[in-house]
Amino acid sequence: MAEFLIKIADERGNVLEQTENGFSEQEVRDRYAQQGYLVYSVKSRNGLFSGNLLGGKKRIKTDTFIIFNQQLYTLIKAGLPMLMVLELLARRQRDPYFKSLLENVRERVKSGQLLSEAFEAQLVVPKIYTTSVLAGERSGSLEEVLNRYISYQRITSTFRKKLVSSLWYPALLFTALTVMLSFLFTYVVPKFADLYAQFGSKLPYITQVMLAIGKTVQGYFYIVFPVIIGSVLAAVAWTRSEKGGDALDRVRFKVPVFGEIWMKYQVALFSRTLATLLAGGLPLVPSLETARNAIGSRKISHLVENAGQRVREGRSLSSSLEETGFFPDMAVEMIEVGESTGALHSMLNSVAEFYEEDVQNAMTAAMQLIEPIILIFMAIVVAFVLVALYLPIFSLGAQVQQ
């Protein structure tokens, strides 16, 4: 299905502009016309650079979604009808994109759809959210489910932000190194090349190599820069394809140190998601199917899918995960204890907490090692460039003294 921006008016004359999913512009137009709306326009939002980079769907900001659910939980708990709640939250929403989604959700609920179905139709809402809300609607415990989902989102969001913040300083150092090298090779080195050309003397080999690189970079900068940008965009597009995503996933697990960190992070995410779904009253097999969609690794997602098939056949979760040969022994043993004691969701939370702490400690240790390595590499590069550029000056000075 494609995404369309539709402008309509209801029977009261209220003009609405919202996002709608459909198979074609005509199909969306006919659907709303049959519901009694006056359709002004239907425009496709799917394009090369629509939504986010390279045509991907625009995502809802995590903080915005958490705040919305906190408000939704509070208003439902206060006893307000669902339509009134959605109308109030949509009217007070400042994010234009999310506001259009909420208006679409309200119209769908007004037409008879469940809240979970209305959110699922937006195609950008996490699967764990729609599944949890559906379980809450069926069990009559929507408030409890929303409260549990808010806690889940806060924990995972905080954990993710800590990981990202630990990468800022190395990223800043790498950026500084890139800017410094670009300045040296596009401005400083060509200046020295012009200076040495006036002397006409033979230059050391290392200096000749440095000057050749500088002239090449300066002469073809307007070609090289767009090529680099195009290559990066092409690489991003390739990694989002199925084949490219599988290849990138395999590479991630083979990277020294960080491969193990990535694996533990995915295990923690899977355990936290599965625990939240089970605590909401969802059966194990549907919970596994939803939890695997929250995993960022295609390999682990496929292994969880295979484990889910074995669980459906009557096997225990711990033995099914153990047969994948990928999940850590500690996680499997803790899950086995949870199954035998009837407290699986509590034990899964313990697994998530254990590996989240392990990942944070490993990331801190890795960053403490990487930061001095980057600084040493920067120093070596600068020293190499300075020696290559100033070596002929020293040689010429020695010749003058003779």
Q: In what order do the strands lie in the sheet with 2-9?
A: 15-22, 2-9, 38-44
Instruction: For residue 1, name the pLDDT band (cuts at 50, 70, 90).
Output: very low
Helices 344-401 and 258-279, packing angle to 10 deg: 160
3-state secondary structure of 122: coil
Domain boundaries, the chain: 1-46, 63-153, 167-402
Is the predicted pLDDT of residue 59 greater than 60, yes or no?
yes
pLDDT in tens, 183-204: 777 777 777 777 777 766 667 7
Question: pLDDT tens for residues 155-180?
Answer: 878 877 877 777 787 788 888 877 87
Mean pLDDT of the chain: 80
Q: What percent of the chain has pLDDT over 70?
A: 89
pLDDT digits 0-9 by tens, 243-288: 777 788 888 888 887 888 888 888 888 888 888 888 877 788 888 8
Q: Which CATH number, 3.90.79.10, 2.102.10.10, 1.10.3720.10, 1.20.81.30, labels domain 167-402? A: 1.20.81.30
| pLDDT at position 3 | 66
In this structure, of 92-101, 136-145, 207-216, 314-323, the range with the lowest mean pLDDT score is: 207-216
- DSSP H helical ranges for 111-220: 115-120, 127-139, 142-166, 168-183, 189-199, 205-219
Contacts of 187 (CB under 8 A, 6+ apart): 218
∠ CA 210-231-52, nearest 5°, is: 135
| pLDDT at site 47 | 43
Q: Which residues pair with 4 in a beta bridge?
A: 20, 44
Torsion of CA 30, 102, 8, 11, to 10 degrees: 100
Residue 303 parent element (H or E): helix 298-312
Q: How many Å apart are CA 308 and CA 287, to the nearest integer?
A: 9
Angle formed by the axes of helices 298-312 and 258-279, nearest 10°:
40
- Token digits for 7? 């402008």
| pLDDT confidence of residue 199 | 67
Residue 71: pLDDT band by 50, 70, 90 thresholds? very high
Whether 120 has a pLDDT exceeding 80, the answer reads yes
Question: Using 50, 70 and 90 to split pLDDT, how confident is the model at 27?
Answer: low
pTM above 0.85, yes or no: no
| Mean pLDDT in residue range 366-376 | 81
Same fold, 63-153 and 167-402: yes
Average pLDDT for 140-150: 83
Residue 238's pLDDT is: 81
The larger pLDDT score, comparing residue 242 to residue 402, is at 242
pLDDT at 49: 38
Q: What is the pLDDT of residue 24?
A: 63
pLDDT of residue 54: 44
CA–CA separation, 170 vs 368, rounded Å?
A: 10
Mean pLDDT across the stretch 282-297? 81
Report, as an integer, the average pLDDT of 337-344: 88
Mean pLDDT of 12-39: 73
Please report the pLDDT score of residue 21 as a whole number: 64
Which among 280, 239, 291, 273 has a CA at the least distance from the CA of 348? 273
Is 1.20.81.30 the CATH classification of the domain at 63-153? yes
Query: For 111-117, what is the mean pLDDT?
Result: 87
DSSP states along 49-112? TSSSGGGPPPPPPHHHHHHHHHHHHHHHHTT--HHHHHHHHHHH---HHHHHHHHHHHHHHHTT
Least confident of 10-14, 229-233, 251-255, 351-355: 10-14
Please say if the pLDDT value at position 55 is more than 70. Answer: no
- CA–CA–CA angle 67, 264, 377 (5° rounding): 100
In this prediction, residues 351-377 reach a mean pLDDT of 84
Please, are residues 385 and 210 in contact by the beta-carbon 8 Å criterion? yes
In this predicted structure, the answer to whether residue 116 has a pLDDT above a threshold of 80 is yes
Look at 98-107, 199-208, 349-358 and tell me which has the smallest mean pLDDT. Answer: 199-208
